[in-house]
Structure 1
């Protein structure tokens, strides 16, 4: 994108209209949207009850949409109702004409490794593995830990657990033995499903040694089921370890397993997410509410239709993969795509080649991925026909406006709706997002709260913030898909989400709402920098830095300052070949002064080749804050996709202050 275009973007708010030619066949039109908002405002429980009944197969209808006790922070959705998540994702599609339709397309990292499962085939695999688990003594309520890379067995395992009422806990395959151990202990897992290794970026990364190390102190685990992915030699512990393929081929394993009738309020899965202290929280989701929010948002936000190929690039170890690779698309009977590799291997065109190969219609990815591909140049996007794409989506962090524009222009060809979505592990599904064919889009904004979702921006004292004033983002009314609790820690659940602003869910994110009602996410509130009494969102400063033609990536943190209270410390990645010198720093400081304010000018700019990110693309700013002040304690770093960047950043900080 040209510097003049960036200049226009930074100085004038640009908006984009949805493509008119797609309005007629969309799942929700502007008129339907207005009616949905009216119903949700007047009677939110009626609105959600209608959506739950419309989208899901209930074995027994629920008595009430919501039973709540705000004083105890207890919210039970669709109490009295019974259903099964696996049945909703599989069985009903065998009866409605989708039996031989592709349910899951798996693209391995090697380009020639492809597996396709129809709904019939996936149903059979899930039933067989559910029977394997039952044979091992797993029953309703037992916890099963899953430590697998992005392979079909991961999806099969999740659906098999849901089928028999076991609570699955997926643990990202990039986690260390220590992180694996802590999560297994926290959920008290009975069975562990793991792989011998991971293929990533052309390398083979062993996993079994992590399993063996972790299980030294996990007495709850009775058996380990091993998936053979890399074929590397492993230590096999007789009596505890078994091979997936052997268990699935056993003559006593049948092709059908009756789905367990689950109460809507029964726990469905536990998923650990990082806390501000570095100690993970085991977020518990219940069956009925979670399945409602994922099916609802898949249909409305992504306009998902029967013949769509939906591709969410997120690892299933994170909530995005749970909701928008597995449960949402399959609940609606769509085709979901699962990719094992990374976007830049073996070439920076991997995403675009896959979109072209499989005719992907909905593409949901992270700003981090788009920034890295933007850095490689638009020539890689021009090699492929991307005309099957209909909707683009962004998730995981606020998307910088100029990255939004690049994504929109080079992938969407300036025509497709690009939806920046806001939600969390705790929310289960998307809560704030534009709808693809309703209203205008503003680059960098997550748009309006969806019908049935009530938000507020408040100051620290709880008073309502003015238009365009940053503050605490709250969800003021309960919604289906909200977390039930933190596993084994109800007190932390109440303290973290409900104590500071009674009656509302505290998201922990900062945001502002503009005069048109559009939400602008400022990032985690501990990422808001208070410089001489001026609250500056890190996202705003980062967006301005990335808008500079010489910058490909930036991260900003606040550090203590004797006079200002806090000052801005920036980590900046330049285009290759440029000088990382004081002259460049001065130019960037002048740029920030002009684009935002002299108040926002960084006190220090450290040039870096990489940033500490989780596999889902989130920058871990607590690590950056620690490095910026010369710290050496970083808490749990096992969630990082590449922990080696920490040493490089530490050395860079030392050089900067020599």
Structure 2
């Protein structure tokens, strides 16, 4: 374990050292891991190309650090607890030794099915332990995993499989989320019509839904495990990887319609995910860490699987949703497993707040020592509710800011060390050097200022490229402000030097902590046969943080607005997935455009927010009268569901 930081003075010292000599700082953190060969050079970098290499020449396998090295001392300690969707179903626990055995077995299954080092493997599964096992088994044999969230549509999966040219898919017959059964294998079958690169599909039995199994392509997980057991293949030597070899691809929305595959590498990601887990949450051996995210997102990668297991921690994963079968479910889980650290999203907190305090009554939450928030800035009301009712004013709240691209937490209070402020991510972790810049890239110094948030020096967990398209990585993150990594977020630094994230400055929405590009939603809406054009913006939403508001121009002959709305929602669900469905659809005759044809989203955003008195100058628009018509239409309710 990396030593934790005990006092604020110690944080300040560590931070100062990390800025003065970043390479020595990260070398020391990396020394706590098992390397087959030590690195030759700690860091090589430039942000122009960009080209970033950490621990160059170092050899390792991340799963030896997640599993093998814990066997001697904590082989019989609990690594993973799984709580099923249905509280009546029995939970499962895995010791480090049991998890090691399961990962080795499934790694051999992958090899038997033709998988090898460097292959890309798509994983589309429910939140069951086998998902974590599949991720680790890929890493063990040096295959690159690309986990796709179980709520995405066939088209979204096909796009991701084609982009990475995956040769194998791991899925399940179905899954459960609350009172819904999710048809996973059927969705995969629809996706694979477009994916000739896929040669094998391994299917786990979960929901016992009838599915099609294609001879020669589809095999059952359980049958493949039996083959391995029969052959006595219960050990699997970990593949030696270079520190800069790819570990995984994770697709994220950008401001263009096409999702981009963020690439993370073995050495730097290992050091960073473990360091940020241990430091932010001040993890102590034996504590139960419950991260409520899905492994389909980066939070699940870093703080359900890799960060906790690299730290020898006990990680709890939950298949269901916090409000099913009733709104006390989350607190039942905390009580049942004596959870110490709860890491969840503001959306979940706001949703649970709406049920009042009744669901918490009689629940024993005394095991909790630390609380975390992730996905979007937590609003003050939710922060205080979380603090008063869940932490009972004795658990520090760490409001963490970071991104898929950063690999791990960047700006956050260190639990119990950094004085907190509701709504603020507070201060950067040691090793992270944030700067605020104006529109021209000029650094804004001092406190009590706001600007665009950039990072001026590399950190080990940062993305290295976007898969198959390095130019896109350069343009998206490094070209806006030369010499800096641009986060895409606006930020305020207050009089105390504390950071508060003010939201995206590009066309990306943050809906329930999921990043969704406006262009992606517009593309999906425009696929509907009667849509001529659309523009999508975000607006404040009581539960989700941001809702999706769509302004849509349709062909003139439509006469049933309600049915058209439902059809558009179904189209978006089919193309992206239910998470991208607009909350409001307003039919309009035109959109506010400049003479060059650019849609003035700033005006649409104000209308969606209900701030129609402050639209600014509209005289430069091609047709200013369009705005009055949109304003009038916005006053009529346009909720879709």
TM-score bracket relative to the smaller structure:
0.7 to 0.9
Residue 502 of structure 1 deviates from its aligned partner by 0.8
2:209 to 232, 254, 266: 232
Match of 1:513 in 2: 493
For 1:212-611, list aligned pairs within 5 A.
Answer: 212-250=189-227, 251-252=230-231, 254-465=233-444, 467-526=447-506
Residue 422 of structure 1 deviates from its aligned partner by 0.4
1:38 equivalent to 2:38? Answer no
Match of 1:588 in 2: none
Match of 1:624 in 2: 549
Match of 1:603 in 2: none
Cα 1:61–1:626 shift into 2, 3 Å:
farther
Residue 486 of structure 1 deviates from its aligned partner by 0.2
CA distance in 1 between counterparts of 2:83 and 2:393 reads 28
Do 1:128 and 1:253's aligned partners in 2 also have CA atoms closer than 8 Å? no
2:75 to 75, 95, 99: 99
Do 1:279 and 1:636's aligned partners in 2 also have CA atoms closer than 8 Å? no
Alignment RMSD, CA only?
A: 2.7
Residue 118 of structure 1 deviates from its aligned partner by 0.6
CA distance in 2 between counterparts of 1:60 and 1:636 reads 49
TM-score (norm 1): 0.80
Match of 2:92 in 1: 115
Do 2:453 and 2:491's aligned partners in 1 also have CA atoms closer than 8 Å? yes
Q: Which runs of 5+ in 1 are unaligned?
A: 1-24, 529-537, 543-556, 558-567, 574-610, 612-616
CA distance in 2 between counterparts of 1:569 and 1:249 reads 50
Cα 1:527–1:493 shift into 2, 3 Å:
closer
Residue 342 of structure 1 deviates from its aligned partner by 0.3
CA distance in 1 between counterparts of 2:580 and 2:58 reads 45
- Structure 2 counterpart SS, 1:383: coil
Residue 236 of structure 1 deviates from its aligned partner by 1.1
CA distance in 1 between counterparts of 2:269 and 2:54 reads 9
Cα 1:473–1:498 shift into 2, 3 Å:
same
Do 2:38 and 2:58's aligned partners in 1 also have CA atoms closer than 8 Å? yes
Between stretches 420-429 and 300-309, larger displacement belongs to: 300-309
Match of 1:5 in 2: none
1:89 equivalent to 2:14? Answer no
Residue 515 of structure 1 deviates from its aligned partner by 1.3
Do 2:5 and 2:11's aligned partners in 1 also have CA atoms closer than 8 Å? no
Q: C-alpha offsets along residues 395-439 of structure 1, whole Å, 9 cap, x if unaligned?
A: 000110111010011000011100100000000000100111223
Match of 1:49 in 2: 27
Q: C-alpha offsets along residues 614-634 of structure 1, whole Å, 9 cap, x if unaligned?
A: xxx674x5x425469999999
2:116 to 134, 139, 148: 139
Match of 1:187 in 2: 164
Cα 1:642–1:33 shift into 2, 3 Å:
closer
Cα 1:626–1:433 shift into 2, 3 Å:
farther
Do 1:278 and 1:636's aligned partners in 2 also have CA atoms closer than 8 Å? no
Do 1:27 and 1:299's aligned partners in 2 also have CA atoms closer than 8 Å? no
Between stretches 44-53 and 648-657, larger displacement belongs to: 648-657
Match of 1:561 in 2: none
Residue 31 of structure 1 deviates from its aligned partner by 3.8
Cα 1:618–1:118 shift into 2, 3 Å:
farther
Q: How many positions carry a matched residue from both structures?
A: 553
2:129 to 152, 158, 183: 152
Match of 1:532 in 2: none
Cα 1:469–1:32 shift into 2, 3 Å:
closer
Q: C-alpha offsets along residues 512-541 of structure 1, whole Å, 9 cap, x if unaligned?
A: 11111100000101379xxxxxxxxx99xx
Do 1:28 and 1:300's aligned partners in 2 also have CA atoms closer than 8 Å? no
CA distance in 1 between counterparts of 2:54 and 2:10 reads 25
TM-score (norm 2): 0.82
Do 1:293 and 1:428's aligned partners in 2 also have CA atoms closer than 8 Å? yes
- Structure 2 counterpart SS, 1:78: strand
CA distance in 2 between counterparts of 1:73 and 1:220 reads 30
Match of 2:627 in 1: none
Do 1:158 and 1:168's aligned partners in 2 also have CA atoms closer than 8 Å? yes
CA distance in 1 between counterparts of 2:120 and 2:172 reads 18
Residue 28 of structure 1 deviates from its aligned partner by 3.5
- Structure 1 counterpart SS, 2:163: helix
- Structure 2 counterpart SS, 1:526: coil
CA distance in 1 between counterparts of 2:263 and 2:449 reads 33
